[in-house]
């Protein structure tokens, strides 16, 4: 990733965090922007979201985020002041879940080895 893409990604992360805090539909949810990956041409940005709240499904969260995407893109466009505003694509980051699953498997294997 180029240094410009990295800077744009960080601006997107910062501004989206601000937008998330202001959004009533997201109130009470514990969301984290795990990473922002911007393409080299700065026309696309993938935003990976981690949620630490089981009260909302991943699909419902993505629906809420996508419903506000255009509004947030305009907000970010004003902050970037560049020729293009990246098109935002929200994705659920399930790396924490996958990491937990791997740890559970390792623990099970350790228990089996200890029993032998």
Q: Model pTM?
A: 0.79
Q: Which CATH number belongs to the domain containing residue 51 in this structure?
A: 3.30.300.20
Q: Which domain holds residue 46?
A: 3-115
Extract the runs of DSSP E, i.e. beta strands, from the chain. 31-38, 44-51, 87-92
Q: Tell me, what's the pLDDT at 53?
A: 67
Per-residue pLDDT reduced to its tens digit, 43-86: 999 999 988 766 788 899 999 999 999 999 999 999 888 888 89
Task: Calculate the CA dihedral of residues 53, 58, 64, 65 and round it to 10 degrees.
Answer: 100
CB 49 within 8 A of CB 55: no
Percent of the residues in the chain that have a pLDDT greater than 90, as a whole number: 44
The number of folded domains in the chain is 1
């Amino acid at each position: 990733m180029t240094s410009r893409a990295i800077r744009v990604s960080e601006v997107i992360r910062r501004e989206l965090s601000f937008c998330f805090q202001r959004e009533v539909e997201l109130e009470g949810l514990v969301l984290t922007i795990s990473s922002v990956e911007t393409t080299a041409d700065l026309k696309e940005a993938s935003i990976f979201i981690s949620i630490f709240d089981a009260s909302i499904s991943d699909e419902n969260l993505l629906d809420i985020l996508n419903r506000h995407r255009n509004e947030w893109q305009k907000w970010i466009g004003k902050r970037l002041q560049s020729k293009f505003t990246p098109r935002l694509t929200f994705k659920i980051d399930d790396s924490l879940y996958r990491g937990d699953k791997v740890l559970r498997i390792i623990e099970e294997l350790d228990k089996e080895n200890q029993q032998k």
